[in-house]
Structure 1
Amino acid sequence: MEKKGTFYITTPIYYPSGNMHIGHTYTTVAADTMTRFKKQTGYDAYFLTGTDEHGQKIERKAAQAGKTPKEFVDEIVAATKDLWKLMNIEYDDFIRTTDERHVKAVQKIFKKFYEQGDIYKSAYEGQYCAECESFWTPTQLKE
Structure 2
Amino acid sequence: MKKFYITTAIDYTNSKPHLGHAYEKIFADVLARWHRLRGEDVYYLTGTDEHGQKVEKAAKSAGKEPQKFVDELVKDFKKMLEKLNISNSDFIRTTDDRHIKVCLEVFKKVFEKGDIYKG
| Range into which the TM-score falls when normalised by the shorter chain | over 0.9
User: Which residue of the partner structure matches residue 89 of structure 1?
Assistant: 86
Q: Deviations over 1:8-44 (max 9, x none)?
A: 0010111011011111110000111110110011111
Q: Which residue in the other structure is 1:75 paired with?
A: 72
Identity among equivalent positions (%) equals 50
Mark the runs of 5 or more structure 1 residues left unpaired by the alignment: 123-143
SS in 1 for 2:4: strand
Structure 1 CA distance, aligned partners of 2:117 and 2:97?
Answer: 24
CA offset at residue 70 of structure 1? 0.8
2:52 alignment partner in structure 1: 55
Structure having the higher helix fraction is 2
Q: CA RMSD in A?
A: 1.1
TM-score, L = length of structure 2 = 0.95
Structure with more relative contact order (C-alpha pairs < 8 Å, separation 6 or more) = 2
Runs of 4+ residues deviating >3 angstroms: none
Q: What 5-or-longer segments of structure 2 have no aligned partner?
A: none
How far apart, CA to CA, are the structure 1 residues paired with 2:117 and 2:111? 6
When normalised by structure 1's length, the TM-score is 0.80
2:61 aligned with 1:64: yes
Report the structure number with the largest CA radius of gyration.
1
Shift, 1:121, TM fit: 5.1
